[in-house]
Amino acid sequence: MKVGFIGLGAMGAAMASNLVAAGYHVTVWNRSEAATEKLASLGAKVASTPDRAAQGDVLHSMLANDQAVREVFLDGGLLDAMDPDTVHVNHATISVALARQLAEEHAKRGLAYVAAPVFGRPDVAAAGKLNMLLAGPHAAIEKVKPLLEKMAGKLWPLGDNPERANVVKLAGNFLIVSAIESLSEATVLTRAYGVNAADFIELMTSTLFASPVYQIYGRAIAEQRFTPPGFALPLGLKDVMLAQDAAFSERVPMPLAGVLRDSLLEALADGAEGMDLSALARASERRANLSGREETSRSIKR
């Protein structure tokens, strides 16, 4: 089976590497050619243009946002260049509105479209253990399932309507940001009373909140380790705002989403552009003037 893969960021590169390792003939394309070098060294063929990566049985894409997807597939005319027998599997986290439009545009051209966004950080992707959401035509999903099983530890089917996978992905990312914000605020509260952050987070993540999201981001908060980003903070803001758009479309109130949006904006304004979502903790710390309090406490003790 000939496979194309477009979009080789940290996640896309890891996912494409698994397909190459599984023995598939993979052709890759990325805006930045430097990102293709590692895939080429593993045996992938590098395409000079996206349409050349789409000349196969299946095309995977993992682009950063709505704008990138529109530019490549709609404005760039890639859909018009694809063979009607090709299945397009879109792993990107995109808006519900764009998901609907993509489903319509693929159908107009007789193309099969599968939405397959994922939960997992780059290290999970490299291990082939992603949780992958699936929505689209049953026949198309069955055709690509052997490929998806090389990249995912578990597949989660959500029906024939592609937008369902995207709204579940947005809802899940909303929950991730909510967890990080609440953990950040709770940690600052305990620190204000002299409790060591690592001790508090170990207690919480070993008992009441013994789950990967709290454990992974909790360690980063305790260690003040915000780079390199596993889930970049600007992408978290993008996803919260997309969840708000989806909620507005169906008149679903999400008051907490507004709080999260503003907290993320505050973190970005304070220089967290290239940091992980766990850098939300810096905003909580600054609101409480915690650094100033701790410095005053140390001065008094001296």
Per-residue pLDDT of 226-264, as tens digits, reads: 999 999 999 999 999 999 999 999 999 999 999 999 999
pLDDT values of the chain reduced to their tens digit, one per residue, 302 residues:
999 999 999 999 999 999 999 999 999 999 999 999 999 999 999 999 999 999 999 999 999 999 999 999 999 999 999 988 899 999 999 999 999 999 999 999 999 999 999 999 999 999 999 999 999 999 999 999 999 999 999 999 999 999 999 999 999 999 999 999 999 999 999 999 999 999 999 999 999 999 999 999 999 999 999 999 999 999 999 999 999 999 999 999 999 999 999 999 999 999 999 999 999 999 999 999 987 666 555 555 55
Q: Do residues 186 and 222 make contact, with C-beta atoms less than 8 angstroms apart?
A: no
Query: How far is residue 75's CA from residue 68's CA, in Å, rounded to a whole number?
Result: 10
Find the helix packing angle between 233-249 and 96-108, rounded to 10°. 80
Q: Residue 290's pLDDT is what?
A: 87
Whole-number Å distance between alpha carbons of 243 and 236:
11
Domain map (residue ranges) of the chain: 2-160, 167-301
Put the strands of the sheet holding 58-61 in their side by side order: 45-46, 25-29, 2-6, 58-61, 87-90, 112-115
Nearest to 95 by CA among 71, 125, 117: 117
The CATH H-level (homologous superfamily) assignment of domain 2-160 is NAD(P)-binding Rossmann-like Domain (3.40.50.720)
Q: What is the pLDDT of residues 154-180, one digit of tens each?
A: 999 999 999 999 999 999 999 999 999
Residues designated as active site? 169
Q: Which residues contact 207 (CB under 8 A, 6 or more apart)?
A: none
Provide the residue type at 66 as one letter. D
167-301: CATH number: 1.10.1040.10
Find out whether 192 and 294 touch, Cβ atoms under 8 Å: no
Q: Are 152 and 131 in contact (CB under 8 A)?
A: yes
